[in-house]
A and B are shown apart, each in its own frame.
Chain A
Amino acid sequence: SHLLLTEPAPLAASQDDSTNDGSLRTLLTLCDLLNRELLVLIGWAKQIPGFSALSLVDQMSLLQSGWMEALLVGVAWRSQASAGEELVFARNLQLDEAQCRAAGLADLYEALRHLTSRYQAMNLSPEEVVTLKAMALANSDAEPVDCPDSVQRFQDGLHEALQEYESSRREQHRAGRLLMSLPLLRQTADRAVQAFLRLHRHRRVPLHKLLLEMLDAKA
């Protein structure tokens, strides 16, 4: 219930109007949205029970390692409801396959649709989504870790919450199924990071400083 309460309201995209090139405009709008989502994500992380007890170094490591996974849980969750096969980055930024392809994000589209249909098939509850998001951050396999015991305690707290929630619903296999979906999330996030790095390096799409800093940490 704490995670449900601290879940930030979805952001709206602010349309970039610095260029007439439609697909570049889409990219710039998307990158601006991502940058603002990152800011919100960092504020959100501090509110997860146990996160602020970690050393500053470990907080940084977990975020640098797990930010894309945590953000993509949100995108995949929002995209489930989309009737057409769009990716719902925001209510006012929904991209279909053709738009993603035109923007050079065909690979990201495919990866995210795959994740979305996996979540759809699992019929996740809001409680499961917020827990999955927090676990993605806690389980990000950041290296090096300053205090492994504290990170372990942070993970254990979330795992315990998930198990308690599922046993209250008498769902014996759900916690395990959720954990078994984490590898696909990791894979999807890796592909997303590569896609944005490509945009920046090969197509010289300008990125905001925070987004660039977080992508660089993964490069």
Chain B
Amino acid sequence: KEKHKILHQLLQNST
């Protein structure tokens, strides 16, 4: 998951 941190962050943003 560390490898895909941008996608992870973008999905977690609520908007």
Contacts and interface: CB of A to CB of B under 8 A. Distances in A.
Interface in B1-15: 1, 3-8, 10-12, 15
B3 A42 contact: no
Contact of B6 (A46, A59, A213): A213
Given A213-B3, A216-B3, A39 B10 contact: yes
A214 interface: yes
B11 A210 contact: no
Contacts of A209: 6
Contacts of B1: 60
A63 B7 contact: yes
A213 B11 contact: no
A118 B7 CA distance: 31
A19 B12 CA distance: 36
30 contacts: A39-B10, A42-B7, A42-B10, A42-B11, A43-B10, A43-B15, A46-B11, A56-B8, A56-B12, A59-B11, A60-B1, A60-B4, A60-B7, A60-B11, A63-B7, A63-B11, A64-B4, A64-B7, A209-B6, A210-B6, A210-B7, A210-B10, A213-B3, A213-B4, A213-B5, A213-B6, A213-B7, A214-B7, A217-B3, A217-B4
